[in-house]
A and B are shown apart, each in its own frame.
Chain A
């Protein structure tokens, strides 16, 4: 049963455009994450929020910015996308210190 929801499923855009991805979890978890899975299939953490507060911010370009309105929502905005941003973006949530549950991902293609 899906409890971490992501929209859109797919997005195709051109270099320089702005995109925004949404994530919502209905598990009551305190912590949410954004991961990026590149063309080599390696998953890497980008951001982590605990109860609307940023707690992990890996070295990602400044054009990426997470946005959290409450602990159940964590969106990701990318200003002026680049070709190397093409990837699958996965949102996850967890009760702090426990296992993480992932959404279905958003596949971004930058032309």
Chain B
């Protein structure tokens, strides 16, 4: 079945540093979303980006569909960015999301 691989598994940043998170997937995706999950567990959609480049605030996502990869760039990290970043794709029928295991980010002050 569809697989989503994320790297790195975890990341420690000093506040103000930039970070790039990677997502690779095993088959063509019709939809790709990046999510943020807070330490408390709530899941927030950050970007929907099945192809190309999208920006929101300090986040930039670039998806290269034919290479089956997406990246999420966090610029000027803040302590409130700490949490888990999840990549998820939709492929095939049913519109169901398949998630990666996530990248755990810790931003130190």
Chain B residues with Cβ below 8 Å from A94 are 95
B94 at the interface (CB under 8 A from A): yes
Inter-subunit contact B97/A45 (CB<8 Å):
yes
Add 10 more A-B contacts to A33-B96, A43-B86 (CB < 8 A).
A41-B102, A42-B99, A45-B97, A45-B98, A55-B95, A56-B95, A101-B45, A102-B43, A104-B41, A105-B41
CB neighbours (8 Å) of B30 from chain A are 97
Measured between alpha carbons, how far is A31 from B96 in the docked complex, in Å?
A: 10
Contact check, B101 vs A42: say whether CB atoms are below 8 A apart.
yes
Say whether, besides A100-B45, A101-B45, A48 and B94 are in contact (CB < 8 Å): yes
A88 at the A/B interface (Cβ < 8 Å)? yes
Within the complex, the shortest CB–CB distance from B108 to chain A, in Å, comes to: 22
- Contacting A at CB under 8 A, from B1-56, are 30-31, 33, 35, 41-45, 48
Set of chain A residues within 8 Å of B44, measured between Cβ atoms: 102
0/1 interface trace, chain A 82-103, chain B, CB 8 Å (1 if under): 0000001010101011111110
A33 to B99 CA separation, bound complex (whole angstroms):
14
In whole angstroms, how far apart are the Cα atoms of A92 and B96 in the complex? 10
- Also in contact, A107 and B101, with CB within 8 A (given A43-B86, A97-B31): no
Q: Cα distance A15–B82 when bound, in Å?
A: 35
Q: Is A79 an interface residue (CB 8 A)?
A: no
Residue B71 at the chain A interface, CB threshold 8 Å: no
Quick one: closest A residue to B102, CB to CB? A41
Instruction: Judge if A62 is at the interface, Cβ distance under 8 Å.
Output: no
Q: Mark B62-100, 1 if CB is under 8 A from A, else 0.
A: 000000000000000000000010101000001111110
A105 near B31: Cβ-Cβ < 8 Å: no
CB-based nearest B residue for A56: B94
Point out the residues of chain B lying under 8 angstroms from A45, CB to CB: 96-98
A41, B84: Cβ atoms under 8 Å? Answer: yes
Measured CA separation A31–B88 after assembly (Å): 17
Most chain B beta-carbon contacts within 10 A, residue among A35, A41, A97: A41
